[in-house]
Amino acid sequence: MKPEDELSGEDAGAIDIAFSGRLGTFDLDIAFRAPGKGVTALFGPSGCGKTSVLRSVAGLQRLAGHCRLGASIWQDETRYLPTHRRPIGYVFQEASLFPHLSVRGNLLFASKGKAPREGEALRRFEEAVELLGLTALLSRAPDTLSGGERQRVAIGRALLSDPRLLLMDEPLSALDKETREDILPYLERLHETLAIPVLYVTHDMAEVERLADHLVLLEKGRVRASGPLSALQADPDLPIARSRDAAVSLAGIVCGFDADYGLMELDVAGACFILPDPKGHDLADPVRIRVAAGDVSLCREVPGATSILNILPVTIVMARAINEREMLVQLALGHGDEKARLLSRLTRKSWDNLDLTEGGPCYAQIKSAALARQ
């Protein structure tokens, strides 16, 4: 249960964190490493200590322990950098914009309010404004913005402080569901373009599925598991895999289209998925799909006439009974070393009827319509 092999040694920008201390009614004792690139989600129920960990990384709260980003040490036994000396960007749950400054003033706060004139600074400013769709808002006052707009400004403000690590504390949880759906695409774009690592605190699995690459599962002040997102999602021994809405996130590349039906083909670890393409993607676009365990069924042979478009050869990695009625089966998909993992939830009766065994081959069936993104 420690799939951290990919983190060993050579990741120069890796985040290395260990904190312990008393927090209200429980003891916090957390240590994990996260890669120096991509989004690491700190996931857990409310009150499990995830926000405290993030605040400690920022130096806004002091817990005993250490905090390192690559070779730079922000906290250890002898050192403690104050917040303003740490190269971070922090997005709070509430946008917390400065009400006495315009959107532009907020965005430029870290550069002392001076507008960028040329070169790198100007390019970065324009890039951030463009990426987050803030062009039309620049001269507005914060109290005239909607909740979603405010949070986008807050993200831009954090990015423009030129951070080496972006910390996001449930940036969507103060927003209503509709606004959240409006902002998620911005975050997904950010995820694709950002060169620095992100620590993303959330209690919403849907955000993890869409944004995270790496996952740290927290429970009552302890790290339950930590590793690449797909590995943890597909681990039948973890509660996220056993939950009713368990799913795995798969990263794929658009490799073909069926224009007549508005479908696209997605290459995932060498296997080909067919799914609806409502957004009109281009060839070679990276696309992330969510495959729910409940949408994957198994069969021994390729069935005849069926409505299901995705019938993929897989290997059964392991199977676990989650109760007397249901089984959770982990499947390996594709060829080569980079096999993707799938989860299938089925009844014990089906499992027995099919007479399947761990290590054996079978076919996974996934309805294309179930892969369609809202």
* H-assigned helices in the chain: 50-58, 103-107, 119-131, 147-159, 177-193, 205-211, 229-233, 239-242, 348-354
Q: Which is nearer to another protein, 121 or 322 (CB)?
A: 121
Position 104 contacts another protein (CB under 8 A): no
177-193 and 147-159 helices cross at what angle (nearest 10)?
20
Element (H, E) at 215: strand 214-219
Q: Which is nearer to another protein, 7 or 154 (CB)?
A: 154
Size of the site for another protein (CB under 8 A): 23
Q: Which is nearer to another protein, 98 or 261 (CB)?
A: 98
Rounded to the nearest whole angstrom, what is the least distance from the CB of residue 106 to another protein in the complex? 9
With beta carbons less than 8 A apart as the criterion, state whether 32 and 218 touch. Answer: no
Position 179 contacts another protein (CB under 8 A): no
SS3 for 136? helix
With beta carbons less than 8 A apart as the criterion, state whether 220 and 26 touch. Answer: yes
The position carrying tokens 């080496």 is 164
Residue from 36, 65, 89, 156 touching another protein (CB under 8 A): that is 89
Site string for another protein, 125-144 (x = CB under 8 A): ------------------x-
Distance CA 218, CA 230 (A): 17
Name the segment binding another protein (CB under 8 A); options: 12-20, 107-115, 128-136, 327-335.
107-115
Position 345 contacts another protein (CB under 8 A): no
With beta carbons less than 8 A apart as the criterion, state whether 147 and 176 touch. Answer: yes
Residue from 66, 70, 73, 109 touching another protein (CB under 8 A): that is 109
Quick one: tokens of 257?
């289209």
Name the segment binding another protein (CB under 8 A); options: 29-37, 98-106, 127-135, 337-345.
98-106
With beta carbons less than 8 A apart as the criterion, state whether 180 and 172 touch. Answer: yes
Position 221 contacts another protein (CB under 8 A): no
177-193 and 119-131 helices cross at what angle (nearest 10)?
140
Position 174 contacts another protein (CB under 8 A): no
Distance CA 115, CA 104 (A): 9
Residue from 19, 32, 90, 200 touching another protein (CB under 8 A): that is 90
Distance CA 132, CA 154 (A): 10
Q: Which is nearer to another protein, 20 or 161 (CB)?
A: 161
Site string for another protein, 42-81 (x = CB under 8 A): ----------------xxx---------------------
Quick one: tokens of 36?
């120096």
With beta carbons less than 8 A apart as the criterion, state whether 19 and 30 touch. Answer: yes
Distance CA 216, CA 248 (A): 15
Rounded to the nearest whole angstrom, what is the least distance from the CB of residue 170 to another protein in the complex? 15
Position 14 contacts another protein (CB under 8 A): no
Residue whose C-alpha is closest to residue 214's, from 203, 206, 225: 225
Rounded to the nearest whole angstrom, what is the least distance from the CB of residue 98 to another protein in the complex? 6
Q: Which is nearer to another protein, 83 or 357 (CB)?
A: 83
Residue from 33, 157, 214, 288 touching another protein (CB under 8 A): that is 157
Burial of 112 (0-12, 13-18, 19+ CB in 10 A): exposed
Q: Which is nearer to another protein, 168 or 319 (CB)?
A: 168
Quick one: tokens of 225?
């598991």
Q: Which is nearer to another protein, 54 or 287 (CB)?
A: 54
Position 114 contacts another protein (CB under 8 A): no
Rounded to the nearest whole angstrom, what is the least distance from the CB of residue 66 to another protein in the complex? 20
Q: Which is nearer to another protein, 168 or 366 (CB)?
A: 168
Residue from 98, 115, 192, 372 touching another protein (CB under 8 A): that is 98
Quick one: tokens of 79?
């050192």
Which residues form the interface with another protein (CB under 8 A)?
58-60, 82-85, 88-90, 92, 94, 96, 98-100, 109-110, 113, 143, 157-158, 161
